[in-house]
Amino acid sequence: MSSHPLAGRTMSGAEMIVQVLADEGVDVVFGYSGGAILPTYDAIFVHNRDPKRRPIPLIVPANEQGAGFMAAGYARASGRVGVCVVTSGPGATNTVTPVRDSMADSIPIVVICGQVPSAAIGSDAFQEAPVSAIMGSVAKHIFLVTDPTRLEATMRTAFEIARTGRPGPVVIDIPKDVQNWSGTFHGHGRLPVPGYRSRLTQLEAHRLGERELGAFYAMLGESQRPLIYAGGGVINAEAAEALRAFAQAYQIPVVTTLMGIGAVDTTEAHAMRMLGMHGAAFANYAVDDCDFLIAVGARFDDRVAAVPLKFARGAKHIAHFDIDASEINKVKRVHWSYVGLLGDALVALTEYGRAHGFRRDWSKWHAHCAELKRVHAMNYDRASTLIQPYYLIEEINRLTRGEAIIATGVGQHQMWAAQYFDFKSPRLWLTSGSMGTMGFGLPAAIGAQFAHPSRLVIDIDGDASIRMNLGELETVTTYDLPIKVVVLNNFGDGMVKQWQKLFFKGRLSASDKSLHKKDFVKAAQADGFPWAQRLDRKEEVARVVADFIGFKGPAFLEVLIDPDAGVYPMVGPGQCYDEMITGEHIVSRGQGPTAPPDASEMF
């Protein structure tokens, strides 16, 4: 192993933290300062002014939650570890939501928290919080550094754990005295975590053997209607290219989860779009009709398989590829499974089929899927005089052609974006999937723009969701980021209102915000957006959207949409795909809901 050029140098703990960040290739950190993290912030300041070192810009948000979501947006868009640096107490607790959000969606971030001095821990000192106890239940791993001689190794191990295996957030809680301590920098070394590394070695060593491959192809050979069900694990594993090669080699249609969007090019003929609660009707019907379901990096969650026994009811066989053994048979029993690296497995699968001359004529199944897409296509009231959100997104999509990075908040606008945008590549779709965290979109877009400074980044948000982190509008203009922010304003919590109309007899309890006084355009202008407009006339959509997308700097567009626009299709909680509600404009082949959802299933 080559010696680190700084090995043997005496450094403070804070300087070691920053040097490890540099060694790990970190090119930006997001965070908010405070007393317990000041030594590290000072070390970043000094590092960035050393002409011999590559600077690590420190991006300051309005709130630590914003910093966490910026780090997550960076990680989602780049595939690299995002970094958030915050102070103790409220600084740390404000990052709990992005940490849990990242854990739920398997996103690699490292959160560095300042902590009160070691001697004060447990004394209810000023700005003290039990970070280990709080974060231990929501993070992939948590470190409390009490031995300063282990700080450097802890930092390196945190990055290793965050990015390897099933990715996730790692939190490092570092007392102020540990940051101020001085010791020898070694330039190498990690903590001994033998159990974790043993599992990783097993994962990396597991290759699909002849027997496993033969069993898989025996099922595939018997199939008349195979279907790939791809989830976020494909994106996280950088396995999209291998998945596309496998699907194209044998012309197998693909449905994706919300988190799997971009795993296949949505404009390709074999792409059947998103399945699930708000998936395309044709995607859900394809799942019902398939006889061999191939799940790759997907976990049969409740938004997809609300009734596991009736999910993929026509499938004679189900195969499941995942990196996490705990996901196999957790929700849905499968007939064949593989636990290991998805990319390697998919390559082996494709090569085995080619080597053995595997061929099948699935032309009838292809024709059936094409007919599903034609008959049960996404649609809406195109004659309405009001601005329909679907139309607005279609118009943006016409200009961006599936090549923009799209971040969203959570709610109706999130589902409309998933349904109506195209995505030609992975890591263009950034959304809070499992946690469903309102306020995610704007800070995630900021993180994505730092990951890809030259890409077009658009935040599709709702009036309720963007309020959660509205302060980050100023962060956009502070750093002169050319982010495009769209607020689809239907004056309230649109998804909640939709559920209340469907299942609570229209009682809009605490969800109607039509009396709120917020002027979003003035707020954006006050925060320095040079282009900020409100769009409320349908005939102006094409012109205004073209100006908005074409503007070279930060741009903000508020769109007053039809307040009664709904998200359809919709599979009610605890119901099956043949009970899907398709609304007035999407053709259904099912019977519709036979009974309202049980109250315990709601949301």
Contact 295, 320 (CB under 8 A): yes
What is the per-residue pLDDT across 140-172, written as a single tens digit (0 to 9) for each? 999 999 999 999 999 999 999 999 999 999 999
Q: What is the DSSP letter of 492?
A: B
Told to judge if 126 belongs to the known catalytic residues of this protein, a careful annotator would answer: yes
3-state secondary structure of 143: strand
Stretch 561-574: mean pLDDT, rounded? 95
Active site residue: 219, 495, 570, 580, which one?
495
Judging by DSSP bridges, how do beta strands 182-184 and 10-12 pair with one another? Answer: antiparallel
Q: What distance in Å separates the CA atoms of residue 398 and residue 396, rounded to the nearest whole number? A: 5
- 419 vs 568: CA distance, rounded Å: 9
Give residue 598's pLDDT band: very low, low, confident or very high (50, 70, 90): low
- 143 φ/ψ angles, rounded to the nearest 5 degrees: -115, 135
Is the model's pLDDT at 600 over the cut of 70? no
Quote the tokens at residue 29: 């950190």
Give the pLDDT confidence score for residue 22 in this predicted structure. 98
Q: Average pLDDT, stretch 175-186?
A: 98
Does the pLDDT at position 603 exceed 80?
no
Give alpha helix (H) positions in 109-208: 131-136, 151-163, 176-180, 194-205
Neighbouring residues of 567: CB distance < 8 A, sequence distance ≥ 6: 278, 412, 415, 416, 419, 495, 498
pLDDT tens digits, 440-457:
999 999 999 999 999 999
- Do the beta carbons of residue 181 and residue 148 sit within 8 Å? yes
**127 given a catalytic annotation:** yes
Each residue of 192-217: pLDDT tens digit? 999 999 999 999 999 999 999 999 99
Angle among Cα 552, 556, 557 to the nearest 5 degrees reads 115
Measured between alpha carbons, how far is residue 218 from residues 213, 229, 272, 329, 581 in Å? 8, 19, 24, 21, 37
Give the residue carrying structure tokens 């790939």: 228
Q: Write down the catalytic residue from 127, 248, 251, 525.
A: 127
Q: How many CB atoms lie within 10 A of CB 77?
A: 25
Kindly report, residue by residue over 46-79, the tens digit of the pLDDT.
999 999 999 999 999 999 999 999 999 999 999 9
300 labelled catalytic: no
Q: How far apart are CA 175 and CA 428, in angstroms?
A: 37
Handedness of CA 129, 132, 134, 139 (dihedral sign): positive
Mean pLDDT of the chain: 96
Catalytic status, residue 64: yes
pLDDT tens readout for residues 476-497: 999 999 999 999 999 999 999 9
Minimal CA–CA distance to 583: which of 303, 281, 273, 272? 281
Using alpha carbons, list the distances in angstroms from residue 565 to 323, 363, 386, 466.
Answer: 39, 37, 10, 19
- The proportion of the chain whose per-residue pLDDT surpasses 90, expressed as a percent, equals 96
Catalytic residue among 135, 143, 155, 176: 176
Task: State yes or no: pLDDT of 270 exceeds 60.
Answer: yes
Catalytic residue among 15, 19, 30, 64: 64
Buried b (16+ CB within 10 A) or exposed e, 366-403: bebbeebbeebebebeeeeebbbbbbbbbbbbeebebe
- Write the DSSP string, 247-306: HHHHT--EEE-STTTTSS-TTSTTEEEE-STTS-HHHHHHHHH-SEEEEES----TTT-S
Where do we find the tokens 């009734």? Answer: 307
Place of tokens 């070694």: 186
Who has greater pLDDT, 457 or 598?
457
* For range 121-129, the mean pLDDT: 97
Amino acid at 432: S
d(CA 325, CA 332): 13
Q: Which residues contact 420 (CB under 8 A, 6 or more apart)?
A: 378, 390, 393, 394, 397
* Residue from 88, 166, 103 nearest 137 by CA: 103
Residue showing tokens 């979501």 = 69
pLDDT recorded at residue 594: 65
What is the distance in angstroms between the CA of the first residue and the CA of the last residue of the chain? 53
Residue-wise pLDDT tens digits, 404-435? 999 999 999 999 999 999 999 999 999 999 99
Angstrom distance (rounded) from CA 300 to CA 9? 51
Three-class SS of 454-485 = CCCEEEEEEHHHHHCCCCHHHHHHHCCCCCEE
Instruction: Catalogue all structural domains in the chain, each as residue range(s) with its CATH number.
Output: 10-193 (3.40.50.970), 206-374 (3.40.50.1220), 389-560 (3.40.50.970)
Beta bridge partners of 86: 32, 113
Instruction: Examine the pLDDT at 1 and tell me if it is beyond 60.
Output: no
Pair 458, 530: CB distance under 8 Å:
no
Burial class of residue 517 (count of CB atoms within 10 Å of its CB; 0-12, 13-18, 19+): exposed
**pTM score, two decimals?**
0.97
Q: What pLDDT, on a 0 to 100 scale, did the predictor assign at position 590?
A: 76
Read off the pLDDT band of 595 (50, 70, 90). Answer: low
Do residues 463 and 563 make contact, with C-beta atoms less than 8 angstroms apart? no
Whether the pLDDT of residue 602 is over 60: the answer is no
Gap between the Cα atoms of 579 and 568, Å rounded: 13
At 327-366, the pLDDT tens digits run 999 999 999 999 999 999 999 999 999 999 999 999 999 9
Measure CA 211 to chain center: 35
pLDDT band at 510 (very low <50, low <70, confident <90, very high): confident
The token pair at 586 is: 């999407």
Helix (H, G, I), strand (E, B) or coil at 488: strand
- Rounded distance, CA 345 to CA 340, Å? 8
Q: Is the confidence at residue 2, as pLDDT, over 80?
A: no
Confidence band of 86 (pLDDT split at 50, 70, 90): very high
